[in-house]
Amino acid sequence: MRHQMHQLVDIFCDRTQHQSQGAPQQRLRLEEVEDGFNEIMLEAVDLHHHQNNDEECSPLLPEVRQELRSRVLRSSVLDLEEKEHPVVRKTEESFCDRALRLFRRLLYQLQLEWQAALAWLREKVAAGFQAFCNAVEAICSAFNSFCTSVAQVFRSAVQA
């Protein structure tokens, strides 16, 4: 995972340094890095879950997997940057300074997105376990009623 992310950063820097430094091209390239980071992390989640499924938990339902994907891919970091800091760009800002600023923002925002996705997933799992526990409790209650009923039948049979 780390190696793939380093490759994305290297490709971004190589392409941006050797081509025009216009903001639209940099934005597009940074969006590619953002999408790449998210895809790499989603693949790592899937791989980890697949490798540890027998030991840790039940299968990750396709709808949960899809919702996790949509939560992570929902909004672009760059869109958020422009909303929070509308065109306050320094004309003297060098490529390296801008790239560093954007990467810091990208990493911070990705961290927030993934923390929010993790919190959602924890709630989903907790709700699933609660529903499972409720089902087991209902089954146990029905079984206890059955056992009580059978015990009464045996008592009646013994008394007769």
Calculate the dihedral angle through the C-alpha atoms of 78, 83, 87, 93, rounding to the nearest 10 degrees: -40
- Answer whether residue 154 is part of any domain: no
- Answer whether residue 10 is part of any domain: yes
On the CB side of 48, CA atoms within 13 Å amount to: 8
Q: Digits of tens for pLDDT over the chain (160 positions)?
A: 888 888 888 888 887 776 665 667 777 888 888 888 888 888 888 787 777 665 445 555 677 778 888 878 766 655 545 555 544 555 677 777 877 887 888 888 888 888 888 888 888 888 878 887 888 888 988 888 988 998 898 888 888 7
Q: What is the pLDDT of residue 55?
A: 47
Backbone angles phi, psi at 42, to 5 degrees: -65, -40
Q: Are 42 and 118 in contact (CB under 8 A)?
A: no
Domain that holds residue 71: 2-132
- Answer whether residue 79 is part of any domain: yes
- Answer whether residue 84 is part of any domain: yes
- Answer whether residue 121 is part of any domain: yes
On the CB side of 84, CA atoms within 13 Å amount to: 8
pTM for the model stands at 0.63
Total domain count, the chain: 1
Q: What is the pLDDT of residue 90?
A: 53
- Answer whether residue 60 is part of any domain: yes
- Answer whether residue 36 is part of any domain: yes
- Answer whether residue 150 is part of any domain: no
